[in-house]
Amino acid sequence: MPQLGIFWVCNGQVFGRARPLAEGCERWPGLLDSPDDHIAVWEDRTLKKAHPDLASLDYTEVPRGRVIFSIKDNRAIIYLDEVLSSAAVRKRIRVFFGLHSTPVTWERDPHYTTDPQKLDAIFEREFSRD
């Protein structure tokens, strides 16, 4: 069964929070998204217990992404950090979210980066609007 959610990849291992499509929120017409955000899940004690080696890191320091689902196209759309482009990592992401036979579109989003300069530019733009 296809799922949606958020994820990180560290040392080739995918972890995060996968949810059934029924738990998705329609934030944009025809697109289901997870109600989870990276910051809250990263701070969850369960995640830190499972991955104590990551406890000292910020959520932006580990390559991450998000799986949303297009109801119209019956397709998963996966946004991910550009460093996660290998076929092996993509396969692990598909397995983690149960997307074995689900069509997938792979996309980039500037928010999903571990590049410090790119992150600084994003935060500077977003916080300069206030």
Give how far Cα 6 sits from Cα of 19, 104, 107, 122, Å. 9, 15, 14, 20
pLDDT band at 23 (very low <50, low <70, confident <90, very high): very high
The predicted-structure confidence for 49-99, as pLDDT tens digits, reads as follows: 888 888 889 888 999 999 999 999 999 999 999 999 899 999 999 999 999
The predicted-structure confidence for 25-51, as pLDDT tens digits, reads as follows: 998 999 999 999 999 999 887 887 888
Does residue 129 carry a pLDDT above 60? no
As beta bridge partners, residue 15 has: 8
Burial 58-72 (b: 16+ CB within 10 A, else e): ebbebbbbbbbbeee
Domain containing residue 98: 3-127
Count how many domains the chain has: 1
Model pTM score: 0.88
Amino acid 126: pLDDT: 62
